[in-house]
Amino acid sequence: MVRVTHWVNVLAVVLMVGSGFQIFNAYPAFARKGETFCCYPFEGDPLPPWMTFGGWLAGARNWHFAAMWLLVVNGLIYLAFIYLHGEWRDLVPRRGHFRDSWEMVKFYLFLRKNHPTQGKHNALQRGAYFAMPIVGLVLVLTGLAIWKPVQLGLITTMFGGFVWARYWHFVATWLLVLLSVVHVFMVIAVDPYSIRAMVTGRYKESWSPESRNARPFVHLLPRRGSSVDMDQQPRQP
């Protein structure tokens, strides 16, 4: 279930971000005409076409609203599953989270020799995975606020009005993009073996970053002498 919802989420996020940027390009500013906005220095500059999807405003809106339901339903299924199966415990930051995060940063900066003990996820991963659903919730609420600013006026007011709701929706989108890019980079640079696990569910313990003492693009091969058989490893949920 975790693997299926992960890949559905990849599709939904790509469609939502690309179509959202196409919608933004129809009016690449936050200030109403004749007014100014304090917090966006690129007013009037559209995003590059390669970042957009949908072709034009109406087409992008159709894709955006279709993918919205896919993203929300998939997210609810995922959250319900990890709650009912107790896997949320692997994602919620624990006591000493900031200390453990700093130890991971020190390790990646070569200020610490050995990889900190991490369990299923290290502290930085926990923080990122915990933040993503929160960012997703902000995206949903701000999206509703700018989609139905009159009918859902309470939500729109909660975010400071239509202009600010649109701005926070834009900021949350870029935050989600940043988290996703860092996530993909770290998978490729530190734990490329997990890509296979995200498809098949199989993973060697000797491939884990902790076992390999792996930093980005360093020690990408498993340690020599490991006799762990991949087929003996249990499938991930």
What tens digit of pLDDT does each residue of 29-46 get? Answer: 998 888 888 999 998 899
Identify residue 115 by its one-letter amino acid code: H
Q: Which residue has the tokens 């993973």?
A: 203
In this structure, is residue 27 part of a structural domain? yes
Give me the pLDDT at residue 221, please. Answer: 54
**What residue ranges of the chain have pLDDT lower than 70?**
219-237
SS3 215: strand
The HSE-up count of residue 170 (CA atoms within 13 Å, CB side) is 20
In this structure, is residue 53 part of a structural domain? yes
- Burial of 52-65, coded b for 16+ CB within 10 Å and e otherwise, reads bbbeeeeebbebbe
Counting the structural domains of the chain, the total is 1
Rg of the chain (C-alpha set): 21
In this structure, is residue 32 part of a structural domain? yes
In this structure, is residue 237 part of a structural domain? no
In this structure, is residue 177 part of a structural domain? yes
* Domain, as residue range, for 170: 2-232
Give me the pLDDT at residue 144, please. Answer: 94
Check which CATH number belongs to the domain holding 27 and give it.
Answer: 1.20.950.20
Greatest Cα-to-Cα distance within the chain, rounded to the nearest angstrom: 70
